[in-house]
């Protein structure tokens, strides 16, 4: 049996090597360099050899230790199971501890500007992950264009704030509403689509919105972007060192020294609150009939129809609600940056958010947090090695898919139990 | 004929050149279990798909008498047949929500009334008393049915983890949660052992007698068909070749030739 396994794995790793050679041979192996003003091909076979050997050997070990082991494929590894069981049992305590940590985080001694920026970025992705989790994790609709709603939220916030001078708390719901409407707009044409087809159309939708923003110059200033988006204020108290005549600021009102960190900390709490609202809303709505219908739709649309569940309305609400939270996050992004341009809303953003949801474990709220910390943390760590960032990102995804094929946290809790009502 | 629940006239369904149902006329009574039998590919499942709006019939009419209110089933598309006309169905290949718990499966079946009770989620989000009350009632209905099929103690397990026979039963009681007037069952006894089959007979009789729900049954297992059918419709190549009581069917030479085969 063991010999058989090794033989099979060797054969498989040989194939992997051949595929790697076919791929990396031309991509890495043949390099054009300019010599005496002519381009010549300079082969780099040694590097190719290293890569191919790495792929083949790696595949061999993955085969032996996970895939071909005597157990059902897709079953989770014991370490993953232990972690998931632990998180399951202590879920409530961990959540409280995590929230408590998030609240005191800005006052930690190490929380300087750099850490605060990372924390704000992560929190934004967590919020986006939670929003998209409604569409992908619960309703099972693979939406690759989520960034479109983030963009719609950001632009509608910016336009209303710039042209009407309305405050953050008025523009925020408007932006959410606009994004939600775009969610329905996307929802209608894709009602009948599933799986790959749905993914392609949503991807195209995301690009359409970006291109629209790029070309509708009168409204969006195209590639120049929108500048001068009002910064948020603390209930009307701006964060400014030199305010206009007669305007009270945050630091004078509270009798503090001016410190630019005050604004950063305020932004941090703002996104923390927005994210927690998203989370609380999702947890609650999952237990309502509409939330259960979303999950049922993910499980079996035909069975849903046979029980009289309206698939059209159910899908549209999922798109709309998910998009709305994307819009909220977009408003936050706009007010934080004070400048937005279509460049911030490329497909790679959608891909990262989808990766966060899928790697976290479809539908798991905690999984979104874990995979955000992991993925965004990784991207940050590799910030100085710009060109290897995406390699590390891809590598991390492969690793998670190898060891936890159904995501970091794959276990689902029922939305209602017999015990609860007796 | 006030007792007629379902009235199908000249139903025809064509797939390109293939005539899956050919000018089929039959009716089903309120207090009856009406069985549709026939060899593989005879068009039985296609009849269900036309009735429940999954296919649009090429020709013919289908009427449901719902409390003396004659409803044209052709007017409804898929989910509306269940929602508006109260026709529930199960599938030849079980279609549960496998990753959801048994109880959740039962709750999804009560979606429409719960949706209204939750004020389309608004009342639900603010934990309104009236919604919680309705949710509790829905739980009780679920428990009632789960008690009947003996699955209450597995209510919180994933439906996909149940043994095959239990999944079949769950699919049937889940369909009953929409409080249908007509219940269409597509080969519910397929893959059941003798004891499970006997339990199924009991369940179907209970639904017919105590719940006053008409049943339309597709079945290959002749012991089930003969044991509980009040009326049998035999299809072959999309055509009705016989209609009568179980006993008459068993002795009909056409049916024996086309489907049952001679006993020797
Ligand atoms: N969607 C479809 N498109 C084309 N042909 C179809 C379709 N659905 C059913 N058919 C054809 O219609 C005929 C009747 O099929 P149906 O599934 O109704 O048979 P059945 O009586 O339920 O058989 P079984 O006992 O095997 O379930 C078959 O020839 C089948 O191939
Ligand atoms: Mg069939």
Pair (A192, A330) in one structural domain: yes
C-beta neighbour count of A173 within 10 angstroms? 13
Q: Pick B108's closest partner by Cβ from A285, A293, A311.
A: A293
For residue A85, with 0-12 CB atoms within 10 Å meaning exposed, 13-18 middle and 19 or more buried, which class applies? exposed
Take atom 7 of ligand 1 and give the residue whose Cα is closest.
B15
Q: Between chains, do A300 and B103 touch, taking CB under 8 Å as contact?
A: no
Going from the Cα of B31 to the center of ligand 2, the distance in angstroms, rounded, reads: 24
For residue A289, give the nearest of B103, B114, B175 by CB distance: B114
Q: Which of B132, B153, B179 is the last residue of a domain?
A: B179
| Single residue among B179, B210, B237 that ends a domain in this structure | B179
Distance CA A111, CA A114 (A): 8
Candidate of B44, B58, B93 to mutate for ligand 1, largest count of ligand atoms within 8 Å of Cβ? B44
CA distance readout (Å), A145 to A19, A140, A198, A204, A318: 31, 14, 10, 7, 14
pLDDT of residue B175: 93
B160 touches ligand 1 (CB under 6 Å): no
Q: Is residue B163 domain-shared with residue B186, that is, in the same domain?
A: no
Say yes or no: B171 and B97 in one domain: yes
For residue A30, what are the β-bridge partners?
A: A43
Same domain, B205 and B185: yes
Q: Residue B141 sits in a domain of what CATH number?
A: 3.40.50.300
Domain that holds residue A93: 78-403
Determine if ligand 1 sits within 6 Å of the CB of residue B13. Answer: no
- Residue A353 sits at φ, ψ, to 5 deg, of -65, -40
Per-residue tokens: B233:
């419709």
Tokens of A2: 């063991």
The answer to whether the CB atoms of A299 and B97 lie below 8 A apart is yes
User: Could you give the CA distance from residue A105 to residue A103 in angstroms, rounded to a whole number?
Assistant: 6
Q: How far apart are CA B130 and CA B220, in angstroms?
A: 46
**Coil, strand or helix at B14:** strand
* pLDDT on residue A422: 42
Query: Do A24 and A166 lie in a common domain?
Result: no
User: Smallest Cα–Cα separation from A394: which of A355, A354, A346?
Assistant: A355
Query: CA of A280, closest CA in chain B: separation in Å?
Result: 10
Q: Report which secondary-structure segment, H or E, holds B45.
A: helix B44-51
B78 plus B133 within the same structural domain: no
Number of domains in chain A: 2
Assessment of whether the complete model's pTM goes beyond 0.80: yes
- The token duo for B104 is 């959740």
* B95 vs A284, A285, A303: nearest CB: A303
A52 and A172 part of one domain: no
Same domain as B175, residue B115: yes
B111 and B167 assigned to the same domain: yes
Residues A83 and A65 in one domain: no
Short-list B85, B1, B3, CA closest to B51: B85
Q: Would residue A418 count as lying in a domain?
A: no
DSSP state of B5: E
Give the range of the structural domain holding residue B219, as residue numbers without chain letter.
1-86+180-264
Residues A49-74: b if buried by 16+ CB within 10 A, e if exposed: eebbeebbeebbebbbeeebeeeeee
Res B89: pLDDT? 92
Q: Tell if the CB–CB gap between B103 and A414 is shorter than 8 Å.
A: yes
Contact B108 A308 (CB under 8 A): no
| B41 Cβ below 6 A of ligand 1 | yes
In order of A171, A337, A352, B83, the CA distances from A267 in angstroms are 16, 11, 22, 47
- Going by the DSSP 8-state scheme, the letter that residue A64 receives in this structure is I
- Quote the ligand 2 centre to B165 CA distance (angstroms): 18
CA distances from B96 to A60, B172, B202 (A): 39, 10, 22
pLDDT < 70 regions, chain B: 1-2, 260-264
If asked whether residues A175 and A304 sit together in one domain, one would say yes
ipTM value for the complex: 0.90
Contact between residue B125 and residue A291 where contact means Cβ atoms under 8 Å apart: no
Q: Is residue A421 part of a domain?
A: no
> A417 in a domain, yes or no?
no
pLDDT value for A320: 93
Q: Are residue B103 and residue B128 in the same domain, yes or no?
A: yes
- Do both A82 and A155 map to the same domain? yes
> Is A237 within the bounds of a domain?
yes
CB-based neighbours (< 5 A) of ligand 2, an ion? B 45, 92
Residue A273 lies in a domain: yes
C-beta atoms of B82 and A306 within 8 A:
yes
- Same domain for A309 and A363, yes or no, is yes
Domain stop point among B179, B201, B231: B179
Q: Which residue, A117, A148, A111, A116, is CA-closest to A132? A: A148
B172 and B185 in a single domain? The answer is: no
Domain boundary among A31, A48, A72: A72
Residue B100 and residue A414: Cβ atoms within 8 Å? yes
Q: Which residues of A touch B125 (CB under 8 A)?
A: 281, 284-285, 288
Indicate whether A229 and A127 sit together in one domain: yes
Task: Return the pLDDT at B19.
Answer: 85
- Give the number of residues written for chain B: 264
Sorted by sequence, the CB contacts under 8 Å of residue B16 that are 6+ apart come out as none
- Which residue's CA lies nearest to atom 18 of ligand 1? B43
The answer to whether residues A229 and A334 touch, using CB atoms and an 8 Å cutoff, is yes
Q: In terms of domains, do B100 and B81 share one?
A: no
Instruction: State how beta strands B69-72 and B59-66 pair.
Output: antiparallel
Which ligand has the nearest atom to the CA of B44? 1
Q: Does B130 touch chain A (CB under 8 A)?
A: no
User: Which of the ligands is closest to the CA of residue B40?
Assistant: 1
How many distinct structural domains can be found in chain B?
2
Beta-carbon contacts of A206 under 8 Å, excluding residues fewer than 6 positions away, are A144, A145, A146, A147, A148, A345, A347, A350
State the pairing for strand pair B214-218/B33-37.
parallel
Confidence at residue A78, expressed as pLDDT on a 0 to 100 scale: 66
Same domain, A244 and A313: yes
Q: Is the CB of B37 under 6 A from ligand 1?
A: no
A302 Cβ under 8 Å from any chain B Cβ: yes
**Domain co-membership, B23 together with B148:** no
Is A419's Cβ below 8 Å from some Cβ in B? yes
Same domain, residue pair B117 and B223: no
Q: Would you tell me how many other CB atoms lie within 10 Å of the CB of residue A121?
A: 17
Q: Which of A288, A308, A416 has its CB closest to that of B79?
A: A308
Flag whether A413 is in a domain.
no
pLDDT of residue A295: 92
**Pair (A58, A105) in one structural domain:** no
* A410 located within any domain: no
How many helices, marked H, and strands, marked E, lie in chain A? 18, 2
Are A94 and A35 part of one and the same domain? no
d(CA A114, CA A124): 16
pLDDT tens for the 422 residues of chain A, in order: 567 778 888 888 899 899 989 988 888 888 778 877 888 888 888 888 888 998 889 888 887 776 655 554 445 556 666 776 777 677 778 888 888 888 888 887 877 888 888 899 999 999 999 999 999 989 988 889 899 999 999 999 998 888 887 888 888 999 999 999 999 988 888 888 877 888 888 899 899 999 998 888 888 887 888 888 887 777 767 776 666 666 677 776 776 777 777 788 888 999 999 999 999 999 989 988 999 999 999 999 999 999 999 999 999 999 999 999 999 999 999 988 888 888 889 888 898 898 889 888 877 888 889 889 888 888 877 777 777 777 777 887 787 777 777 777 777 788 888 874 44
On whether both A64 and A84 belong to a single domain, the answer is no
Chain B environment of A306 (Cβ under 8 Å): 52, 78-79, 82, 88-91, 95, 175
Residues in B closer than 8 angstroms to A296, CB to CB, are 97, 100, 104, 108, 111
Residue A303 CA neighbour count, 13 Å, CB half = 27
Q: How far apart (Å, rounded) are the C-alpha atoms in residues B227 and B238? A: 25
| Domain co-membership, B199 together with B250 | yes
Asked if residues B225 and B37 have their Cβ atoms less than 8 Å apart, the reply is yes
């Amino acid at each position: 049996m063991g010999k058989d396994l090794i033989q099979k794995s060797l054969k498989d790793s040989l194939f992997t090597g051949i595929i790697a050679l076919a791929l990396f041979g031309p991509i890495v192996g043949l390099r054009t360099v300019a010599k005496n003003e002519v381009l010549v091909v300079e082969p780099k076979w040694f590097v190719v050899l290293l890569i191919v050997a790495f792929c083949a050997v790696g595949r061999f070990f993955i085969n032996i230790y996970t895939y071909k082991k005597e157990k059902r494929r897709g079953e989770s590894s014991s370490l993953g199971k232990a972690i998931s069981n632990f998180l399951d049992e202590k879920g409530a305590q961990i959540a409280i501890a995590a929230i408590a940590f998030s609240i005191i985080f800005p006052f930690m001694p190490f929380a300087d500007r750099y850490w605060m920026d990372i924390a704000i970025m992560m929190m934004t992705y967590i919020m986006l992950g939670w929003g998209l989790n409604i569409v992908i994790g619960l309703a099972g609709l693979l939406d690759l264009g989520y960034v479109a709603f983030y963009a719609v939220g950001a632009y509608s916030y910016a336009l209303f704030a710039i042209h009407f001078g309305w405050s953050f708390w008025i523009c925020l719901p408007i932006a959410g509403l606009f994004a939600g409407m775009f969610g329905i707009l996307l929802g209608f044409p894709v009602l009948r689509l599933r799986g790959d087809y749905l993914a392609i159309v949503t991807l195209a939708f995301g690009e359409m919105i970006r291109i629209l923003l790029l070309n509708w110059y009168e409204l969006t200033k195209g590639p120049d972007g929108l500048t001068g988006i009002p910064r948020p204020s603390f209930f009307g108290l701006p964060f400014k060192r030199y305010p206009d005549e007669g305007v009270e600021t945050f630091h004078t009102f509270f009798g503090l020294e001016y410190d630019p960190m005050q604004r950063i900390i305020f932004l941090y709490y703002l996104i923390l609150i927005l994210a927690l609202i998203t989370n609380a809303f999702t947890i609650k709505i999952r237990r309502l009939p509409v939330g259960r219908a979303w999950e049922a739709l993910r499980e079996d649309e035909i069975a849903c129809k046979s029980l009289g569940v309206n698939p059209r309305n159910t899908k549209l609400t999922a798109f709309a609600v998910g998009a709305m939270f994307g819009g909220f996050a977009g408003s936050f992004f706009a007010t934080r940056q004070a400048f937005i341009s279509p460049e911030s809303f490329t497909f790679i953003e959608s891909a990262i958010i989808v990766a966060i949801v899928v790697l976290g474990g479809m539908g798991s709220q905690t999984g979104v947090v874990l995979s955000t910390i992991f993925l965004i943390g990784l991207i940050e760590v590799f910030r100085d090695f710009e060109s290897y960032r995406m390699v590390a990102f891809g590598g991390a995804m492969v690793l998670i898919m190898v060891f936890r094929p159904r995501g970091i946290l794959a276990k689902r809790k029922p939305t209602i139990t017999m015990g609860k009502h007796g | 004929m006030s007792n007629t629940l379902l009235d199908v006239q000249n139903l025809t369904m064509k797939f390109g050149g293939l005539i899956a149902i050919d000018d089929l006329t039959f009716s089903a009574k309120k207090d009856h279990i009406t069985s549709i039998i026939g060899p593989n590919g005879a068009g039985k499942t296609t009849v269900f798909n036309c009735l429940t709006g999954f296919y649009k019939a090429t020709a013919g009419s289908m009427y449901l008498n719902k409390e003396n209110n004659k409803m044209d089933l052709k007017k409804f598309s898929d989910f509306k047949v269940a929602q508006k006309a109260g026709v529930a169905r199960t599938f030849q290949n079980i279609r549960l929500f496998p990753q959801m718990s048994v109880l959740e499966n039962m709750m999804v079946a009560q979606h429409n009334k719960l949706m209204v009770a939750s004020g389309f989620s608004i009342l639900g989000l603010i934990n309104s008393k009236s919604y919680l009350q309705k949710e509790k009632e829905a739980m009780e209905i679920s428990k009632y049915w789960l008690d009947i099929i003996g699955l209450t103690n597995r209510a919180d397990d994933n439906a996909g983890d149940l043994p095959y026979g239990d999944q079949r039963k769950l699919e049937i009681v889940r369909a009953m949660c929409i409080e249908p007037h007509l219940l269409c069952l597509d080969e519910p006894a397929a893959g059941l052992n003798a004891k499970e089959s006997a339990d199924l007979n009991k369940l179907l009789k209970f639904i017919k007698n105590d719940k006053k729900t008409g049943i339309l049954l597709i079945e290959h297992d002749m012991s089930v068909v003969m044991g509980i059918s009040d009326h049998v419709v035999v299809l072959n190549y999309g055509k009705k070749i016989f209609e009568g009581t179980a006993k008459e069917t068993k002795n009909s030479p056409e049916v024996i030739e086309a489907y049952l085969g001679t006993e020797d």
